[in-house]
A = this chain, B = another copy of it.
Amino acid sequence: MPATNRARAQRPRARRAARSVRPRPVITLTSDFGLHDPYVGIMKSRILQRAPRIPLIDLTHEIAPFQPEQAGYWLWCSYLQFPAGSVHIAVVDPGVGGARSIVVLEAAKHRFVAPDNGLLGLLAQSIPDARAYRVEPRALRPLGLTFASATFHGRDVMGPLGAELAARRVRAEQLGERTALLLGTLRPAVRTEGGALEGQVALIDHFGNALTTISAEALAALRGAQVLLGTRRLRLVRTYAEARADECVALINSSGMLELAVREASAATRLQLQVGAVVQVLVERGAD
């Protein structure tokens, strides 16, 4: 899916529908809190107090504990599915209470609030207009926010700060200086010297599909592409339904990313795939 399609996908409005409702920014939440404990509910209470009329949407709270880049990958794949003006709060924060900063990233009319621990690296690297700001404690005081606890800055700062940003009572550039974000290990796919596209398996989803860092935009430049996983060649199909029973295939998923899948089964299990595995896309000789 080319970039213009991805952007368009976020406002599939008909004439009649457009008159009656307009895209309303939302607040999304992503964390590793899980749903067994009340931490998500506590953070939501703080957000609701400050932005009672902005819809609150859970992306997921089941990020593997202490894996901030998983949260960042989901945001990278998903943010364009939400209306411009939305605020995305992502709290995977093993360094809470230590020296790590809290940052706000502005990019493509979206804002992201997160700890500066690699979580936002993929977004910062790949969105051309991305600007990151390091949040200064003194900028929080006029908002009535302090680092009240040593262990739950999602509740104390990131949640309510996201609400203030969404409600447009504060702007990112009022919160602190521009900063360069820490990057993690995930990178957008790169073009190798031989002309291939090389990316990684970034995440295994609930269905066992392996999601990669290779975007449809990058792929679009390669006609007749062949997907390689080690020495294994995967057929590039359009839908899961096109795969034969048990066949491992590659396809462009609904977020516009290259995904490895097995029809009605787990590709991760079938291919013994792990996060970090290298995926290459080659151009067939003579295909160009």
A144 (CB) vs chain B CBs: closest residue: B14
**CA A183 to CA B28, docked complex, whole Å:** 38
Taking CB atoms, residues of chain B closer than 8 Å to A225 are none
- Chain A 7-28 interface 0/1 with B at a Cβ cutoff of 8 Å (1 = within): 0010011111110110110101
Residue A145 lies at the interface, judged by CB distance under 8 Å to chain B = yes
Question: For the complex formed by this chain, how many copies does it contain in all?
Answer: 3
Taking CB atoms, residues of chain B closer than 8 Å to A51 are 21
A151, B97: Cβ atoms closer than 8 Å: no
Taking CB atoms, residues of chain B closer than 8 Å to A36 are 60, 62, 205-206
Please list the residues of chain A having a beta carbon within 8 angstroms of any beta carbon in chain B.
1, 5, 9, 12-18, 20-21, 23-24, 26, 28, 30, 33-42, 44-46, 48-52, 55, 57-62, 65-66, 74, 77-78, 81-83, 94-99, 141-146, 148-152, 155-156, 160, 164, 167, 169, 205-207, 238-242, 251-254, 263-264
- Supplied contacts A18-B144, A66-B264, 12 more A-B pairs, CB within 8 Å: A1-B149, A21-B49, A21-B51, A24-B49, A34-B206, A35-B61, A45-B83, A96-B239, A97-B240, A98-B240, A151-B239, A151-B253
